[in-house]
Amino acid sequence: MKITTIGIDLAKEVFQIHGVDMYGKALLRKQLRRSEMSKFFANLEPCLIGMEACGSSHHWARKLCEFGHTVKLMSPQFVKPYVKTNKHDMADAEAICEAVSRPNMRFVSIKNIEQQAILSVHRARQGFVKARTAQANQIRGLLSEFGIVIPQGIRSIINRVPDILEDAGNDLPGSMRHLLKQLNDHLKQLSRQIEELELQIKLWHKENEASQRLEAIPGIGPITASAIVATVGNATEFKNGKQLSAWFGLVPKQCSSGGKQILLGISKRGDTYLRTLLIHGARAVIRFAENKEEPESWLRKLIARRNKNIAAVALANKNARIIWALLAQGTTFHHNRATTSVAAEHDYGVA
């Protein structure tokens, strides 16, 4: 019998393989070391291969596609229900093989090398931003022990620290002044590294046509647009904009039963980084809309009757739907102030 479907439990060195025929009968159960993977699948007839979306999954998906196989990635949370026994590599591989053959399974789009590269830049930038925030808070906390209070904000620390170092009347000992100078230099270095990575992101954004189309949406700039394009790709894995918005975690949790609909707070599923960028961008649009938008616009009406936090999430929900249309259908965004978004309101429960 011919092997038609294979499930692979990925690992660092030892990979578990489970293969079945068209009737679901197990024909293959074996372990492969990393050095044996390419040779084994190069000599295997093309088939459907399932893997969990985890570390190195996109690399192996690209590699196996080169051998003519059809590779599909799945979220681990969707594979777990198919594990029939205690968790071990063989059971996981069998569960993956079973899950990938389900017609209603949701799959993860395979990222190319360029997408993974720019996402690595985003992750590095995010790490530097967190480190800079931690360093600024440390400086502020240490100075407060000596009675020196600095207002919140990175810019306040950068502007105030040189004056504090030169002020001989603040009773700071020499050792503390030396430490403060070192911490301030480290803070400036982190800021320079963030600026360099942001420049790389903007250069990639200028060369990517899809990312530039997303930038036309109010509340989405080069950072957000490039991160979404690198993560979502052409968005064809999602049937509509509502699915993409739900994947971002911008729709409410449901606890509905017996025909009674109960909506809770947003689900916060999916990529936290992308959701944060979308909501922060929506907040910027709301600050602008309070004074600049027409009184009869959808956003002004929404702000007038609901909390700004709810309005920000509703606007981010709306933008997510627009993003799907631009990526999946290849359309161009044209801003129309008279356009309303009842669907976004209803999806978030603010109508």
Using pLDDT thresholds of 50, 70 and 90, give the confidence band for residue 332. confident
Give the pLDDT band of residue 349 (cuts 50, 70, 90).
Answer: very low
Look at residue 293 in the predicted model and tell me its pLDDT: 63
Q: What is the pLDDT of residues 8-41, one digit of tens each?
A: 999 999 999 999 999 989 999 999 999 999 999 9
The confidence score (pLDDT) of residue 345 equals 43
Give the C-alpha separation, 15 to 37, whole Å: 8
Contacts of 21 (CB under 8 A, 6+ apart): 1, 2, 3, 4, 27
Q: What is the DSSP string of 102-154?
A: -TT---BPPP-HHHHHHHHHHHHHHHHHHHHHHHHHHHHHHHHTTT----SSH
Least confident of 56-60, 68-72, 116-120, 337-341: 337-341
Spatial distance between the Cα atoms of 319 and 343, rounded to a whole number of angstroms: 12
At 341, the pLDDT band (50, 70, 90 cuts) reads very low
Give percent of the chain above pLDDT 70: 94
Distance between CA atoms of residues 261 and 277, nearest Å? 29
* pLDDT at position 336: 63
pLDDT given at position 302: 85
| Sign of the alpha-carbon torsion through 322, 325, 330, 335 | negative
Length of the chain: 351
Fold of the CATH domain 5-108: Nucleotidyltransferase; domain 5 (3.30.420)
* pLDDT tens digits for range 59-84: 999 999 999 999 999 999 999 999 98
Q: What is the mean pLDDT of residues 317-330?
A: 92
What per-residue confidence (pLDDT) applies to 295? 65
- Backbone φ and ψ for 95, nearest 5 degrees, come out as -65, -40
Predicted pLDDT at 252: 86
Residues 262-274 have a mean pLDDT of 86
Comparison of pLDDT for 102 and 350, the residue scoring more: 102
pLDDT at residue 183 in the model: 95
**Mean pLDDT on 280-305:** 82
Find the largest Cα–Cα distance for the chain. 87
Q: To 10 degrees, what angle do helices 222-232 and 113-144 make?
A: 130
Q: Is the pLDDT of residue 343 over 80?
A: no
Tell me which residue has tokens 């069998």: 94
pLDDT tens digits along 106-117 = 898 899 999 999
Question: What pLDDT score does 342 carry?
Answer: 37
Rounded to 5 degrees, φ, ψ at 182 are: -65, -45
154-213 pLDDT tens trace: 889 988 999 998 888 888 898 999 999 999 999 999 999 999 999 999 999 999 999 999
47: its two tokens: 């088939």
The three-state secondary structure class of 254 is strand
Tell me which long-range contacts 194-202 makes (C-beta under 8 A, separation of at least 24): 194/125, 194/128, 194/129, 194/132, 197/121, 197/124, 197/125, 197/128, 198/125, 198/223, 200/121, 201/118, 201/121, 201/122, 201/125, 201/226
For residue 346, pLDDT over 50 is answered with no
* Amino acid letter, 226: S
